[in-house]
Amino acid sequence: MAELGGGHAATAREIVALLADAPADDVEKLAQRYAEDPRKQVRTAVQSAVKRARRELAERDRVRQLYAEQERLGGTGMVVGIDEVGRGAIAGPLTVCAVALPLEPMVWGLNDSKQLTPAKREAVAARVAEVATAIGLAHIEPAAIDAVGMGTALRMAMAQALQDCGVEPDVVLIDGNPVHVHPRERCVVKGDARIACISAASVVAKVTRDEMMVAYDADYPQYHLAQCKGYGSPEHIAAIREHGLSPIHRVSFCGNFLETPRLF
């Protein structure tokens, strides 16, 4: 019968617990140790542990690739990643985040914010705040978006976020198409899923703006802002048709929902 570290015969329950708690790097050796154990609980636990470890190791490789791409495109100097959230919303600000992210230590879990649960986004954003060299944020309010249009608003927000970052970047990596906010910018399509610093900016921007929309929900509860975050959900559109527009709606985005937009 298999033994644990103390030399005593291990029960199936003890082995199951050991496998469940084992770090991913240790699972392969444990799986080999208990591969011939005849007990069904142990065999099942070995299979589950191996699957878990493979997922965790694959996830680490994915994050390492984000950093490898950041270094490949940006080098080892001061690299700032920029991303936005709220471009397609009909209420609330356009939010842009700029993050100067060092290559070490790595932030495990980094990803395009849309691929993460709210709880995971908050945990990743908190870790980014701990390790980032600098973070800059900018918000362009609905009235300004209406006045200048989304293209200009986006350039304004990216320029402001870069300035708020407070560092002089060697390279600026931006998600999407060329914006022309910095002479050393490089744009990467789907960069929020490919480049570490852009992923970090994506997550921080999303968490920051979501918190703002939840706060707005207390002022304008009829629009379901805590749930829809200002995007055009069916409930949000129905509320606009019933109540009209609030001061945080983008009038230029809402023409299809009201014959004559009215403000509070």
pLDDT digits (tens, 9 = 90+) for 234-249: 999 999 999 999 999 9
Q: Which two tokens mark 152?
A: 């200009």
CA-CA distance, 154 to 162, in Å (whole number)?
A: 12
DSSP 99: E
User: Which ranges constitute the DSSP H helices of the chain?
Assistant: 12-21, 24-33, 40-74, 118-131, 142-148, 150-165, 196-219, 225-228, 234-243
In contact, 209 and 96? CB cutoff 8 Å: no
Among 21, 40, 70, where does a domain finish?
70
Q: Does residue 132 share a domain with residue 176?
A: yes
Q: Which two tokens stand for residue 194?
A: 């490919």
Mean pLDDT of 190-214: 97
**What is the average pLDDT across 252-256?**
90
Tell me, yes or no, whether 246 lies in a domain.
no
- For residue 41, the enclosing domain spans 12-70
Residue 163: inside a domain, yes or no? yes
- Residue matched to tokens 């291990």: 10
Is residue 162 classed exposed, middle or buried when 0-12, 13-18 and 19+ CB atoms within 10 A define those classes? Answer: buried
Q: How many of the other CB atoms lie within 10 Å of CB of 137?
A: 19
Domain count, the chain: 2
- Cross-strand pairs, 82: 98, 174
Tell me, what's the pLDDT at 45? 87
Is residue 2 predicted with pLDDT exceeding 70?
Answer: no
Alpha-carbon distances of 24 from 14, 39, 56, rounded to whole Å: 18, 22, 7
Please tell me whether residues 172 and 208 are part of one structural domain. Answer: yes
Identify whether residues 65 and 186 lie together within a single domain. Answer: no
pLDDT at 260: 52
Domain final residue pick, 179, 201, 216:
216
Are residue 25 and residue 56 in the same domain, yes or no? yes
Domain boundary among 216, 235, 257: 216
- Averaged over 146-168, what is the pLDDT? 97
Residue 27 domain-assigned (yes or no):
yes
- 148 and 25 within one domain: no
Name the pTM for this structure: 0.85
Q: Averaged over 112-130, what is the pLDDT? A: 96
In this structure, is residue 82 part of a structural domain? Answer: yes
Q: Tell me whether residue 219 is exposed, middle or buried, using C-beta atoms within 10 angstroms of its C-beta: 0 to 12, 13 to 18, 19 or more.
A: exposed
Q: Are residues 46 and 85 in the same domain?
A: no
Contact call for residues 15 and 43 (beta carbons, < 8 A): no
Instruction: Assess if residue 124 is contained within a domain.
Output: yes
